Amino acid sequence: MTEQRWERQGGRVADEGDDAEREALAWADLVATARRTVADGLVVGTSGNVSVRVGDLVLVTPSGVPYDRLRPQDLTAVDLDGRQVRGSLVPTSELPMHLAVYGTTDARAVVHTHAVHATAVSTLVPELPLVHYMAAALGGPVRVAPYATYGTQELAESMLRALTGRTGCLLQNHGTIAYGATLDQAYDRTAQLEWMCRLWLTASSVPGLAPSLLTEEQLAEVGERLRGYGQRG
């Protein structure tokens, strides 16, 4: 009998384990990613949230629970309409944002943080200036979604507009959100976004000088090169 297992490198599903095992392994990877956001200073306390899609389920961090206290039996999941189908802990209040991403993109994982430099930039400009070519890894110039109250459909809709053609955006006076084909990719995009925001703030703080910025044409060229980046096979 074929089984299915969750390959931890990149979170791919292969034929070796049943659905329960698949979900359990995906949950372990989700918890590890959530803890990484704290360790790397992208969130404080229980702020931010992480989700991963497994089939027609969305596994998501629960509301108000410190990530270091999450256990295997705390697995929390909803269906694509937001109905809770696993666990007893209440899902994150930002569930509307996560579901909006899954409903409109091919995302398999979403990471939302309150990263300090990115949040600072979100209060200053409507779009992160093109201070580094890694903006191409997120699809182009990173936009700022206008402010809306956390956990609302209004915020989810504002976010989707900012995400058009992008895999990450800033949320005004709030934080960041990024998605990817895997938890690793979603996290990497989040970390890159925070780094670019820190870079711009640092360069902009030098009195009497302004950072040089890339053009849209230069960014497009990088985007083409990134298509072949990394190992093959």
Contact between 37 and 115 under an 8 Å Cβ cutoff? The reply is no
The residue type found at 161 is R
**What span, in angstroms and rounded, lies between the C-alpha atoms of 107 and 109?**
6
* 94 in active site: yes
The C-alpha atoms of residue 60 and residue 89 are separated, in whole angstroms, by 10
175's tokens: 């934080």
**3-state SS class at 10:** coil
Q: Which position has the token pair 């659905």?
A: 19
Task: Compute the distance between CA of residue 184 and CA of residue 29 in angstroms, rounded to an integer.
Answer: 9
Tokens for 69?
């206290």
Reference 94, options 78, 71, 70, 74; nearest CA is 78
From the list 3, 7, 16, 94, the catalytic residue is 94
Name residue, tokens 């989810």.
156
The Cβ-side half-sphere exposure at 132, using a 13 Å CA radius, reads 16
Helices (H), 16-94: 19-39
Is residue 112 within 8 Å of 155, Cβ to Cβ? no
Catalytic residues: 94
